[in-house]
Chains A and B, each alone.
Chain A
C-alpha cells in the first residue's frame, strides 16, 4: 500500500536542479510527480519515478545524496471539499501530514495526492477504514 519516493539533497546554487533532471533524462527515467522543498541554503527534491533503482543508481554515481522514503498515494475525489474531508479524517486520529503534493495524472475521476505522514501505517488504516482508495506503488509508477 506504500509508494517509494526518492529524495535528493540539492544545494541552493544555479544549475543543480537542471543537473538532476538531465541525469534522469539521459538514463531514460520518467518523473511521475515531484515536489521541491526549499530553504535559503538548500532544497530537497522529492520524486516519484517509473524506475526507482535506476534513478537512484545514476544520481548516486553523479555524487548526489539520495534517499528512499515511503509515502502514501491516495485517490482524492475531484470536487470542492474533497481534500478537506481527507485531512479532517486524519486529524480526528491525530495523524500529522509532514508534506504532500499532487500527482500529475488522474485516476479515473479522482485526483491523486502523495502524502508523507508521521505515522504511515495508522494513516493507511484510517483512510482505508474511511473508504478511501490507497494506491499501490506498482500501479502508480506506471500511470
Chain B
C-alpha cells in the first residue's frame, strides 16, 4: 500500500535527478534569502552554480544546531514572515529554544509525508488514530495529526498525560492505531493492566513510536504487551518534525527516508568525511523543498547507517537504521532533548552550587527518570533540613521550568562524584540500548 505511489516508488535515476534539480533550486533560494548561507558559502568559496551533481553536495559547509541558536529566533528563515503560517520550537541549551517556521507549502509537504509515513506503517482510511504525542511547540502532536487527517483516518487529538483517560478513550472509541513515544506506550500498557483493561481486548493494530531512542528488544516487549505491530518513526523539528523517515510494515527493517524532500548523508562525526553505504556514522540531512527554514547539510548528531538496497515493500527510498546513539552528549528524556551543559548552566546560576554534578538516567515502570546529583560543600550546607530541602526544590523547579523535564535532585557528599582528568563523566545512562 502506498499513499503516493509515483513518488514513493520513483526509480532511483529519476529520484536522483529530481533531488539534484530541487537541491539547485534550494541553494539559489538560501543564497539569495539567508545572509548566514550567503556568508558561509562565500567563506567556503562556493556558489550554487558549482553544484552540478549530487556528489558535489559534500563540498558544501555543514549547518549546526549552534547556527540556529546564534540566529535566534528567525535569522535562518528564508521566507518573509508574511508567508510563515506556523512556528514550532524545541528546547535549547541556554533556555532559548530552536525555532522553525513553516510556509503553507511546508505544512502541505509535512502533511503529505506524514500521510505517506502512516500508510507505510500500515495505516489506512477508516483507522482510528489515538495520537498521544504532545500538542504544542513540540512537532509530534500536530505533525501526526495533520497527516492522519490528510489520509482520511479519524484522529483523536489526545496529546500526552492523563493516562487513565487515555485508556478509557482507547477502549471506548475503538482506537486502532497508537502514536506516542515507545516508553509511554509501555507505561500505558502497565496502567491499563492496573485498571483491569486487557490490551488484547482492544482494537489496536499498529503503534507508531518515535521521538526517543529504543531497541529491538523493546519492540518485542511492546508488541507482546500491547498486542500490536510496532513501527519506528524518525523526525526532528529542525528538519520538519515526525515523518522524515519511517519503517514499512512489510519489512520493519530500516526507516525509509523521503528522499524526494531530504538528501541524507552519513558522515564520520570526527572528520566530517562521508562514509560508505552500510557504515555507521552521523546522519546529515539537506532539506531540498523547504521554504521556511531550509537547511544545508544539517548535522543531526544521530548515529545510524544507510542502505540503498531495494526493499520488499517496493519503495525506492533509502533506509536508515534504527538510531543507535548520538555523536554529542544530548540525552532524550521522556521525549525531551536535554544537554548536560543545560543542567550545568542552571546549576551555576543557583548561588553556591558547584558545577560538580552527575546525571543519572534510568527507566522505571517504563518511564525515563532523571536524577541530578549535586555535591554539598560548606557554602551550601546548612544544619537545618528545611534549607537543604528548599535547595533541592529550587534546583528541581529551575530544571523543570527551563527544560521541561521533571527530575529528582539528590544531594551528595563532596568529592563523591568522580573527577576525571580528561572529559568529566557527567552522565550515567542506565537505560537499555541495543
B406-418 to A contact mask, C-beta < 8 Å, 1/0 = 0000111111100
Q: Which of A5, A46, A64, A99 contacts B413 (CB 8 A)?
A: A64
In the complex, what distance in Å separates the CA atom of A135 from the CA atom of B141?
Answer: 67
Interface residue B378 (Cβ < 8 Å from any Cβ of A): yes
B375's nearest neighbour on chain A, judged by CB, is A65
With A9-B376, A42-B388 as known contacts, state yes or no: A67 contacts B411, CB within 8 Å.
Answer: no
Interface residues of A in 7-60 (CB under 8 A from B): 7, 9-11, 16, 37, 39, 41-42, 44, 46
Q: Is the CB of B383 within 8 A of A65?
A: no
User: Min CB distance, A79 to chain B, in Å?
Assistant: 30
Interface residue A69 (Cβ < 8 Å from any Cβ of B): yes
- The size class of the interface chain A forms with chain B is 20 to 34
In the complex, what distance in Å separates the CA atom of A99 from the CA atom of B387?
Answer: 13
Interface residues of B in 373-400 (CB under 8 A from A): 376-378, 381-385, 388-389
User: Min CB distance, A45 to chain B, in Å?
Assistant: 9
In the complex, what distance in Å separates the CA atom of A141 from the CA atom of B382?
Answer: 22
User: Min CB distance, A62 to chain B, in Å?
Assistant: 10
In the complex, what distance in Å separates the CA atom of A44 from the CA atom of B415?
Answer: 18
Q: List the A side residues contacting B411 at CB < 8 Å.
A: 9, 11, 41-42
Interface residue A108 (Cβ < 8 Å from any Cβ of B): no
A43's nearest neighbour on chain B, judged by CB, is B385
Q: Is the CB of A65 within 8 A of B385?
A: no
Interface residue A98 (Cβ < 8 Å from any Cβ of B): yes
How many A-B residue pairs have C-beta atoms within 8 angstroms? Tell me: 54
In the complex, what distance in Å separates the CA atom of A69 from the CA atom of B416?
Answer: 24
Q: Is the CB of A44 within 8 A of B388?
A: yes
In the complex, what distance in Å separates the CA atom of A44 from the CA atom of B378?
Answer: 13
B415's nearest neighbour on chain A, judged by CB, is A63
A69's nearest neighbour on chain B, judged by CB, is B383
B412's nearest neighbour on chain A, judged by CB, is A11
Q: Is the CB of A44 within 8 A of B385?
A: yes
User: Min CB distance, B28 to chain A, in Å?
Assistant: 59
Identify whether the interface residues of A are mostly helix, strand, loop, or mixed. Answer: strand
In the complex, what distance in Å separates the CA atom of A11 from the CA atom of B358?
Answer: 15
Q: Is the CB of B382 within 8 A of A67?
A: yes
Interface residue A66 (Cβ < 8 Å from any Cβ of B): yes
In the complex, what distance in Å separates the CA atom of A45 from the CA atom of B339?
Answer: 35
In the complex, what distance in Å separates the CA atom of A124 from the CA atom of B86?
Answer: 66
Q: Which of A10, A65, A98 contacts B378 (CB 8 A)?
A: A65
A45's nearest neighbour on chain B, judged by CB, is B383
In the complex, what distance in Å separates the CA atom of A5 from the CA atom of B385?
Answer: 15
Q: Which of B381, B384, B388, B415 contacts A99 (CB 8 A)?
A: B384
Q: List the B side residues contacting A7 at CB < 8 Å.
A: 381-383
In the complex, what distance in Å separates the CA atom of A10 from the CA atom of B377?
Answer: 12
In the complex, what distance in Å separates the CA atom of A99 from the CA atom of B414?
Answer: 25
Q: Is the CB of B383 within 8 A of A5?
A: yes
In the complex, what distance in Å separates the CA atom of A62 from the CA atom of B321?
Answer: 50
With A65-B376, A65-B377, A65-B378 as known contacts, state yes or no: A116 contacts B414, CB within 8 Å.
Answer: no
With A39-B389, A41-B410, A42-B388 as known contacts, state yes or no: A67 contacts B383, CB within 8 Å.
Answer: yes
Q: List the B side residues contacting A116 at CB < 8 Å.
A: 383-384
User: Min CB distance, A20 to chain B, in Å?
Assistant: 11
User: Min CB distance, B81 to chain A, in Å?
Assistant: 49
Q: Which of B381, B384, B410 contacts A65 (CB 8 A)?
A: B381
Q: Is the CB of A63 within 8 A of B383?
A: no
Q: Is the CB of B385 within 8 A of A10?
A: no
User: Min CB distance, A88 to chain B, in Å?
Assistant: 23
Interface residues of B in 305-336 (CB under 8 A from A): none
Q: List the A side residues contacting B378 at CB < 8 Å.
A: 65-67
Q: List the A side residues contacting B383 at CB < 8 Å.
A: 5, 7, 44, 46, 67, 69, 116
Q: Is the CB of A37 within 8 A of B385?
A: yes
Q: Is the CB of A98 within 8 A of B384?
A: yes
Q: List the A side residues contacting B416 at CB < 8 Å.
A: 11
With A9-B376, A39-B389, A44-B388 as known contacts, state yes or no: A67 contacts B413, CB within 8 Å.
Answer: no
Q: Is the CB of A63 within 8 A of B414?
A: yes
A99's nearest neighbour on chain B, judged by CB, is B384
Q: List the B side residues contacting A65 at CB < 8 Å.
A: 376-378, 381, 413-414
Q: List 9 A-B contacts (CB under 8 A).
A: A9-B381, A11-B416, A16-B413, A39-B389, A42-B411, A44-B383, A64-B414, A65-B378, A65-B413
Known: A11-B416, A39-B385, A39-B389. 18 other contacts (CB 8 A): A5-B383, A9-B376, A9-B381, A10-B413, A16-B413, A37-B384, A37-B385, A39-B388, A41-B411, A42-B388, A42-B410, A44-B384, A65-B376, A65-B377, A65-B381, A67-B378, A67-B382, A116-B383
Top 8 A-B pairs ranked by shortest CB distance? A7-B383, A69-B383, A65-B381, A37-B385, A11-B413, A9-B376, A63-B415, A67-B381
